[in-house]
Amino acid sequence: MSSQPPSRSRRDFIRHSLATVPALGLFGGAMIAPGRVSAAARQAYAPRYFNADEWAFVQAAVDRLIPADDTGPGALELGVAEFIDRQMDDAYGRGELWYMQGPFVPDAPATLGYQLRFTPRELYRAGIKAVEQWCRQQHNKGFAALAPEVRDQVLQQLEHGSISLEGVPAAAFFGQLLQNTKEGYFADPMYGGNRDMGSWKMIGFPGARADFADWIEQPGKVYPFGPVSIRGDKA
């Protein structure tokens, strides 16, 4: 989150995010096995992992992390919440692909790697519960029912660790949420996010086209062809 004006924040966010999204993410994650998802199925998507209250939180949070504006579509529009839910229902969410044995040292430097006892899905469940409890104590409403500007304030407080959550490090929970939001926004659509390659079209990314080398040495020139997904779908 940032206190900068929305349009500038979005440009800065996209610029910095492109360098981090191809990485494995906060926990060294892995994408779920892809499956062809029709437009109708995406519209009627029912969460696999999150319950109704958690689902409302995730949708409300990603909507504020990457809101729609005149630069491009927002995270909610591009199905980022669906992407996160799918990840939580797979090996990544269950923490099956990395070492999860103690001892854990939460205050250790980031260079020593992940130091929480929670798997990603456990961190979401515990984190959402704690944030909801805090919001009801402070605002008498759940997170999703708060005004957009108040949701922004809550997310900023989580980012800076200025909220004390029961049993969950606020900054670590925010880091998980932000990283997965960025991944879902820019990942190939077959993983549930980046619906219709909306973020790729916005930034002029060619996707999985077999050959675009001729355009690499033409800085500043707009790539004239739309993106292609790994499945071969074209925008």
Find tokens 């798997």 and name the residue: 119
Q: Say what the pLDDT of residue 15 is.
A: 54
pLDDT of 178-217, one tens digit each?
999 999 999 999 999 999 999 999 988 888 887 777 777 8
Angle between the 148-159 and 120-139 helix axes, to the nearest 10 degrees?
Answer: 120
- Over the chain, what is the mean pLDDT? 82
pLDDT of 27-74, one tens digit each?
444 444 444 444 554 567 899 999 999 999 999 999 999 999 998 999
Q: Which residues contact 114 (CB under 8 A, 6 or more apart)?
A: 26, 27, 28, 98
Model pTM score = 0.80
Mean per-residue pLDDT, 86-99:
88
Indicate the burial class of 16 (C-beta count within 10 angstroms; 0-12, 13-18, 19 or more). exposed
* Position 163 confidence tier, pLDDT thresholds 50, 70, 90: very high
Q: Which tokens in the block code for residue 42?
A: 């995406």
- Neighbouring C-beta atoms of residue 57, cutoff 10 Å: 25
